[in-house]
Structure 1
């Protein structure tokens, strides 16, 4: 298991990165470190873990959708280079993480380069993959790759190109990575192929990329892109194609929002009708400009989102999903332990009492009966107390084991908090079952978390001073 020193070195590396790229995020990073220290004392994080691993410190733009929807062509056009392979079939079955590189020649690095670097959004993703597909985490290079590109359009941000969503939609590990991408992205471009508007063939995509986004607090970061629109120029009414897709999305529950309609001019077939070609190009240019504007805006959005995540982590730690849930579990453990103690100890004590009276305690007194045998009375009392202690320890372990099995793994908890680990730390034999506060949740910790939560407004004002002029 990674040590706290290794976690510190990783955050030191992240700090050096932020000093160069975005110094405004150094203050949230310092608060995350304080949250880490509290969570480790409570057992909610291991010595080598950190809340920062769930925070993408670079702005992330993700491109999801079906194969042949034109995601790779869009990336190549945006970067003005032939970085990604393109084709009408699934040409790559791995997620490509694209970032800026100083070398003019593109480089392709294995997925392990992402799994071990805190600065990237897939830090320790191999553990998450193992949780849903045992052993697959060791094959991280089969799922991810890191690609560098010497293009100013990608400097300071990350692009994520996904494999065709319906090309391998049954693999649980792929779905886990997709969910991780959605959670960490600042902007999600969901591509659909205008040439294939059959909602039946898109059921899995619509379910995972549309239906599950409706109730999200950050649903505004999803942009639906209808690509390859040039192919509809041969239709009598291209608007019917758009309407068919809108009905498909409505069938999945999405009644708001709209499609942005684009195509790649370089690979598009010529449109013979000049007026129609002009109309298609104007609409494409308008929607493409909006996509580029949204992509550029993620650099500003990221700073605010990191601050929101800082506050969210503090709220989660101190709230119902952190301390609150731990207290509830400890309350159930306490009650169950006392029940088990009672079920065993009460009959034993009653049997001892009956034996005392049978031995003459009723006529000679309890003390006289205890000290009238061959063994000293204090030894008998000590044996009874030891037996009671053994029974109590067994009751504690039994109750803790039963409740511990009901707690999901850390990867299923908010911010990867290890509730199970913290619960076990609070049920060690030396901790009283009547303790009022979970381990590590002291008055100092409560005050520290409250200060972190209250810092959001101060940091947001500093961000506003940089990006806006509210005073005119």
Structure 2
């Protein structure tokens, strides 16, 4: 059965209606993205059914990552105050689970296709991302994703993601790709480790993918590293040695500074007989859990800044990186076209000259080339020959365009490791190779001053939105606070007079 595709315009319209109710400032961010969509389509970097809105999680998003049996599901159940996720000592769930609030008070499990078709959620159009990993995987989106609803009040206006332990997953390539995807989208990333296995070998994949590759990110502050199930170490002769082994393993992966957390779930905890040790563990756990919960609460504010920052980042990358790369690809393609044109048309001209000389010579001798004399006799027959030569020359030119494009595309495929960027560049290259676009102009097809103005305008709009957010959440001059006090005093006076 043919897969039913939703219209991006309808999806974005629904998203805009939602944002009008939830956070009107973000409507401006969405409109800026739509301007970038239009500019990118003109130069071929986006297809007609693609939108930059798919790269942004529009709700506050917290992801919980780590190896299997690290207690991710237990942590989420404890935070929500609701037994939503199955727990166990072995890998229980092999899907990425998006958890959101249930307005009707009922918990439900929904298929991954519910996420794939809704731009308000992360994983919008994830089927297309999976298709790039391996043809056919996009049709299996339900094997990678699921949506769960939960009536916990802590979920209002927030999305949580519980991940499978990717070191236990057979679908490794796709799972790691999705993991990278949600890391980029998340406002906060909780990386949980298993206190029962703090040695580097047991958490090799976690250290490599969730520590070593993230410590140098510009948004590294959004990662919290948590040693879970620390209660089990109370039975050790020296429980601090377990923590030390974990911190040394993290340091070897490159993380030598920052805050580390140690927690456990009271409901699942092993009994700690020593009262003094139990009190110390509880005090440390309560303090760390409170700090983690505070950070999770802050994402509602951080999310607005993250979205505006993402809009500006997309505009800057489009203006300063994507267009430069596309210009370079077009230059390589033009050189290839001109080189092949020279070879092909030079060979054609030489062939015409040789045949003309041979025909004239043979005709003078009355030889076998009387046909040549017949072609060149009269005034109208050379026009036919000229048309044939011109048509052949045109065919050779378009053959040169295609061959040059194939050569550039092959080199790009080998050199560009980022599959998403490779896809965009190949799309734009094919756009430049269309018959209606001449190979003579050095600038990419569709790159007009108006398109450049659009990108510059979006960057300025993003900076203006940051200032509006600052006006909402910050008051460095204290002027707004004083104005609020004046209004409050005025209202109090009016009530007294009344």
- CA RMSD of the aligned region, Å? 2.6
Q: Is the 8 A contact 1:360 1:369 kept in 2?
A: no
- Gapped regions of structure 1 (runs ≥ 5): none
Q: Which residue of structure 1 lines up, in the alignment, with residue 157 of structure 2?
A: 156
In the alignment, the residues of structure 2 paired with residue 388 and residue 117 of structure 1 have an alpha-carbon distance, to the nearest angstrom, of: 50
- 1:238 Cα offset (Å): 1.9
Q: Aligned ranges for residues 304-343 of structure 1 at < 5 Å?
A: 304-320=305-321, 322-343=322-343
Q: Is the 8 A contact 2:132 2:419 kept in 1?
A: no
In the alignment, the residues of structure 2 paired with residue 136 and residue 358 of structure 1 have an alpha-carbon distance, to the nearest angstrom, of: 61
Q: Which residue of structure 2 lines up, in the alignment, with residue 263 of structure 1?
A: 264
Q: 1:69 to 1:184 in 2, by over 3 A?
A: same
In the alignment, the residues of structure 1 paired with residue 3 and residue 410 of structure 2 have an alpha-carbon distance, to the nearest angstrom, of: 24
Q: Does 1:405 align with 2:410?
A: yes
In the alignment, the residues of structure 2 paired with residue 192 and residue 338 of structure 1 have an alpha-carbon distance, to the nearest angstrom, of: 58
Q: Which residue of structure 2 lines up, in the alignment, with residue 464 of structure 1?
A: 470
Instruction: Identify which of 414, 419, 422 aligns with 2:425.
Output: 419
Q: 1:301 to 1:154 in 2, by over 3 A?
A: same
- Gapped regions of structure 2 (runs ≥ 5): 365-372, 479-498
- 1:334 Cα offset (Å): 0.8
Q: Is the 8 A contact 1:54 1:415 kept in 2?
A: no
Q: Aligned ranges for residues 40-439 of structure 1 at < 5 Å?
A: 40-168=41-169, 171-320=172-321, 322-356=322-356, 372=377, 376-408=381-413, 412=418, 418-439=424-445
In the alignment, the residues of structure 1 paired with residue 134 and residue 205 of structure 2 have an alpha-carbon distance, to the nearest angstrom, of: 20
How high is the TM-score relative to the length of structure 2?
0.88
Larger Rg, first or second structure (1 or 2)? 2
Count of residue pairs brought into register by the alignment: 466
Q: Is the 8 A contact 2:59 2:303 kept in 1?
A: yes
- 1:351 Cα offset (Å): 3.8
- 1:433 Cα offset (Å): 0.7
In the alignment, the residues of structure 1 paired with residue 224 and residue 411 of structure 2 have an alpha-carbon distance, to the nearest angstrom, of: 38
- 1:402 Cα offset (Å): 2.3
Deviation readout 1:39-89 (Å, 9 max, x if unpaired): 122222122211000000011100011122111111111111111111111
- 1:312 Cα offset (Å): 1.0
- 1:463 Cα offset (Å): 0.2
Task: Give the SS at the match of 2:456.
Answer: helix
In the alignment, the residues of structure 1 paired with residue 73 and residue 413 of structure 2 have an alpha-carbon distance, to the nearest angstrom, of: 37
Task: Give the SS at the match of 1:200.
Answer: coil
In the alignment, the residues of structure 2 paired with residue 417 and residue 460 of structure 1 have an alpha-carbon distance, to the nearest angstrom, of: 31
Task: Give the SS at the match of 1:319.
Answer: helix
Q: 1:380 to 1:351 in 2, by over 3 A?
A: same
Q: 1:339 to 1:303 in 2, by over 3 A?
A: same
In the alignment, the residues of structure 2 paired with residue 416 and residue 45 of structure 1 have an alpha-carbon distance, to the nearest angstrom, of: 12
Q: Is the 8 A contact 1:5 1:48 kept in 2?
A: no
- 1:435 Cα offset (Å): 1.7
How high is the TM-score relative to the length of structure 1?
0.92
Q: Is the 8 A contact 2:412 2:422 kept in 1?
A: no
Task: Give the SS at the match of 1:44.
Answer: coil
